[in-house]
Amino acid sequence: MIIVGLLLLVTILIPTACSQAPWQSDVDQIKTPSAPASLAGAEGVIAISREVAIGNGALLAISHERIIVRNGDISLVVENVVDTRDEIIHLAEGLGGFIVSSFIDGEGQNIRSNITVRVPDEEFQSALSELRKLAIRVESESTNSRDVTEEYTDLGARLKNAEATEKQYLALLDKATNTEDMLKIYDALSRIRREIEQIKGQIQYLERTSSMSLISIQLKPQGTGSGLVTPGWSILEALKSAIRALVTFGQGLVTILIWILLFLPIWGTTLGVIFWYVRRRRRTQT
């Protein structure tokens, strides 16, 4: 009877222990405040989960469409710099773009303008073609392209894995009952969320710069040589300037004479002594 009773007791206890083992061990790892490996075990779970996610193909697939960042630079000689600048503004807005910056300097034949615009990438070549039509001649033109597809795909993969890691930390947080472990998981969550925001910002920047191409435009007037008369020149102003220069010269000359007169006793005495010494020496030699 004793043997039969022991067999029945073992039969009851074994299924109960097996049913509690899978989840109880994870909870014990987070609950243990004195064991420094408690959170390390949780982080180990995260690391393993990352590897599983990557191994199961969680990385973003490389897009067949290339992501290109295009920039252009063009220098134009035009009849009227100000009017052409206004036409460029209307052109950019008409193509669905906008003005990044606009600057005009100088006057007359020396006037210059630098304009920077962004236009939709699909209108990049059309914009350059329209700009050429506004010019008497094109002095220089250059374009450059940068393929950021690989960088964009890598950022997408990093974002997806970071978001998966965030979910796993949240799952661990639901299991944790120890305050110390909760604080450590909160700290880890803050770090991964900062990383997610940084990656999102980089992705948005690549999306904006690839969808809106940048064109820098320099404008200069047709007659770039110096005119016979400098813009703003006046004979009256030239006469006034000459008089001012003459007065300044006279003031300087009078100032020098005053200094000479004031120091005459000093330098006159010095010259007299030198002259007397030279004459006396000559007489002695003879």
Q: Give me 83's structure tokens.
A: 């009017």
CA distance 207 to 148: 10
pLDDT at residue 208 in the model: 87
Residue 61 has pLDDT above 90, yes or no: no
Residue 181 has pLDDT above 80, yes or no: yes
CA distance 97 to 70: 14
pLDDT at residue 263 in the model: 81
Of the given ranges (13-27, 44-58, 94-108, 199-213), which has the lowest mean pLDDT? 44-58
pLDDT tens column, 113-151: 999 999 999 999 999 999 999 999 999 999 998 888 889
pLDDT tens column, 185-229: 889 999 999 999 999 999 999 888 888 999 999 999 986 544 444
pLDDT at residue 231 in the model: 52
Are the CB atoms for 163 and 49 separated by under 8 Å?
no
CA distance 194 to 32: 28
Q: Hey, what amino acid is at 189?
A: L
Q: Give me 55's structure tokens.
A: 């191994």
CA distance 188 to 153: 25
Could you give the 3-state DSSP secondary structure of residue 58?
coil
Beta sheet of 112-120, edge-to-edge order: 98-105, 112-120, 212-221, 68-78, 137-147
> Of 42, 21, 46, whose CA–CA distance to 30 is shortest?
42
DSSP secondary structure code for residue 110 in this structure: G
**% pLDDT > 90, the chain:** 33
Q: Hey, what amino acid is at 132?
A: R
Residues near 101 by beta carbon (within 8 Å), at least 6 away in sequence = 114, 115, 116
Average pLDDT over residues 19-23: 38
pLDDT at residue 230 in the model: 52
Of the given ranges (135-139, 199-203, 231-235, 256-260), which has the lowest mean pLDDT? 231-235
pLDDT at residue 37 in the model: 34
pLDDT at residue 223 in the model: 66
Query: Between 263 and 136, whose confidence is greater?
Result: 136
Q: What is the mean pLDDT of the chain?
A: 76
Q: Give me 49's structure tokens.
A: 């989960």
Query: Between 96 and 11, whose confidence is greater?
Result: 96
Are the CB atoms for 74 and 143 separated by under 8 Å?
no
pLDDT at residue 2 in the model: 53
Query: Between 117 and 273, whose confidence is greater?
Result: 117
pLDDT at residue 117 in the model: 93
Residue 10: HSE in the Cβ half-sphere, 13 Å Cα cutoff: 6
Average pLDDT over residues 17-31: 38
Banded model confidence at residue 162, pLDDT cuts 50, 70, 90: very high
Average pLDDT over residues 86-103: 92
pLDDT at residue 3 in the model: 53
Residue 27 has pLDDT above 50, yes or no: no
CA distance 218 to 50: 51
Residue 56 has pLDDT above 50, yes or no: no
Residues near 97 by beta carbon (within 8 Å), at least 6 away in sequence = 117, 118, 119, 120, 123, 127, 212
